[in-house]
Amino acid sequence: MIGWPLYRAGWYFHVFTVFTAALTNFQYRNAGTPDKPDIRAFERFTTDNGLFTTRLGGLFTSTYKLADNQKLFFRSLIDRNTFDDTLGTSGVNNQNQPEQNSILRYTEEELDFGQLGGEHHWSHAWVDWRTAYSRTAQNEPDTRFITYLGEPPKFSTDSSGGTRAFNALQEYLSDSAVDFTIPFPTALPFTDFWSGLPAKFKFGPAYAYRTRSFDQRRFDYGVNGAALDLGAPPETVLAPSNLVPGVVDVSETTQNGDRWSVSHEIMGAYGMFDLPLVRDRLRLIAGVREEYSDIVLKTGTLTSGAAKVIKRNVDPLPGANLVYSPRDDMNFRLAYSRSVSRPEFRELSPTQFPSPRALRPFIGNPNLVEAHLENYDARWEWFFSPLELVSLSFFHKKLDQPIEAVVIQESSANANSWDNAEDGTLTGLEFEARKDFGFIRPALKCLSVQTNVAYIDSNVNIPVKKLQAPHETKRALVGQAPYIVNAALDFTHPRFGSHRLLYNTSASTITFAGTFGLPDVEEQRRDQLDFVSLIPVKPFGLPLTVKLSAENLLNDRVLVTQGGLVQDRFEKGIKVGIGLTYTF
């Protein structure tokens, strides 16, 4: 009805999630040279992890109809998560000493999002616009690191022991765009051969601006072993009565790189034609988007104080799709496009977070550059109904300087970082199918099966750098599995709700590339089975939905290897969740 708003709102509450794991961890170093590696284990630890989470959120949407062909809409979301994480490690460090570590971490995360937009469709022109604003926050108010060395164990400030870290992150994003659509009939001069077909020309500008600030403060306890019993529990060693000069000293050890701010500005504009070549059978969609990207990172370094990193690029991104429809429910698609992958803020930031032995810290790389991709795609799809299809796809991608996760040797330990490879290719096939069982009996139409299978062959070339020699000059792309299988069995009924069983597996995958002669880190194949159930309930007439979820029902072990040697081996355990959503 014109002039009447339509509202949808709801709250959801994820009651709890508990996760525990026992992890066996080895870290390896190259005791030789990059040309003649001598890989040795220098740290061996067992890690126990307990995690308790809560989640509370709400959403609100509204639509106001100005006329039959015009409307305004508003969407908003608030999502808040907390994580109470306890981590304990025990093992042998690189000095062949027994070592025990504990980390107590509490994290608060919040996302606030709002979007206002409109659709105005006249016979001669369409205008669609939207503008969004979001705020993201992550706070770790007091992360504590405790270390005990030797036998019997004694309190130590080694391996981040006695460190307390306070982290605060804020991010703001504004994103706006306008799309203009000009419909027109096709026509050629001096002939009626190609006339009267409904075509469109679309164009419009877009602008996004994102800022993030991060602040980490570190404080270390200095302990006088002659004045204290270092074999006592940490709450005794670090008791308030001991916080006096000469017994337990407190000093701030915040570094220049622990505080940074970054902004990312993207300005873009595009133009695109949607042209029917043969009525209802052959269509061409082609255009180009021009993007200006400006990333400015302000941070500090250990040696030179303040530093600024600027990544400024202008990228023309063309694309074309040719769609052939031999029948109304079948399509053949050919596509070509260029795209870009820019480094994330965390990948550029040089901040190093405290971490005990057995866990590699993350260190950003300010020297990263954006990656460019050329994409070639072919796809056949057959729609049995709006929710049923079978499709087969072929794709090939050319990669220029792809960004990859790597393991580097940092001081006396290893660390995770990122680097650009030289170039590479990615070629694959994908099969997808969605079908219900109504063809057997009409009563089974609410039961359906979905599957997606992909085979991918990837290759990248690695530049040989003077100070960071790769393990090999050719290998598979980091993070790309040779094959991926997803399947789901779904039961959806208006009265009984929706219930889904999901299965996933993928082949052995490189997670971090090795450098300085270190082999690649690979996660071996594992099987995962999850279940989620959404059940509508109406106690006292209230529109509630109960969500029950269980992840990792098979509890298949996670095995991470490096050069065929075990690095991490653990079981995630079964993750159970209960949620409640109220919609009004």
Amino acid identity, position 270:
Y
Q: Which of 317-331, 340-354, 382-396 has the lowest mean pLDDT?
A: 340-354
The single-letter DSSP state of residue 232 is: S
Span 424-480, pLDDT tens digits: 999 999 999 999 998 898 889 999 999 999 999 999 998 876 446 566 788 999 999
Pick the closest to residue 433 from 396, 382, 504 (CA basis): 382
The burial class, CB within 10 Å (0-12 / 13-18 / 19+), for 161 is buried
CA 439 to chain centroid, in Å, comes to 39
Q: Which two tokens stand for residue 201?
A: 């020309």
Distances (CA, A) of 264 to 167, 206, 361: 22, 14, 25
In this prediction, residue 170 carries a pLDDT of 97
- Report, as an integer, the average pLDDT of 11-20: 57
Q: Is residue 517 within 8 Å of residue 408, measured between CB atoms?
A: no
Q: What is the pTM of this model?
A: 0.87
- Could you tell me whether strands 248-252 and 259-278 are parallel, antiparallel, or unpaired per DSSP bridges? unpaired
Pick the closest to residue 527 from 551, 509, 552 (CA basis): 552
* Residue scoring higher pLDDT (228 or 471): 228
In this prediction, residue 470 carries a pLDDT of 63
Residue 196 CB neighbours (<10 A): 10
In this prediction, residue 305 carries a pLDDT of 63
Mapping DSSP onto H, E and C, the string for 312-376 reads EEEEEEEEEEEEEEEECCEEEEEEEEEEEECCCHHHHCCCCCCCCCCCCCECCCCCCCCEEEEEE
User: Distance between CA atoms of 118 and 110, rounded to whole angstroms?
Assistant: 27
In this prediction, residue 467 carries a pLDDT of 46
* Residue scoring higher pLDDT (7 or 162): 162
Span 61-103, pLDDT tens digits: 999 999 989 999 999 999 999 999 998 989 998 888 999 999 9
Q: Is residue 88 within 8 Å of residue 50, measured between CB atoms?
A: no
Residue 577 has pLDDT above 50, yes or no: yes
Distances (CA, A) of 85 to 18, 50, 360: 10, 6, 17
In this prediction, residue 3 carries a pLDDT of 54
In this prediction, residue 466 carries a pLDDT of 47
Share the mean pLDDT of the chain: 90
Residue 107 has pLDDT above 80, yes or no: yes
User: Distance between CA atoms of 76 and 112, rounded to whole angstroms?
Assistant: 8
Of the ranges 57-66, 107-116, 358-367, the best mean pLDDT one: 107-116
Q: Which of 27-41, 196-210, 214-228, 493-507 has the lowest mean pLDDT?
A: 27-41
Q: Is residue 90 within 8 Å of residue 53, measured between CB atoms?
A: no
Residue 241 has pLDDT above 60, yes or no: yes
One-character DSSP codes across 64-113 = EEEETTEEEEEEEEEEEEEEEEEEEEEEE-TTS-EEEEEEEEEEEEEEEE
In this prediction, residue 302 carries a pLDDT of 55
Residue 118 has pLDDT above 90, yes or no: yes
Q: What share of the chain in percent tops pLDDT 70?
A: 93
Span 533-575, pLDDT tens digits: 999 988 877 788 888 999 999 999 999 999 888 888 888 888 8
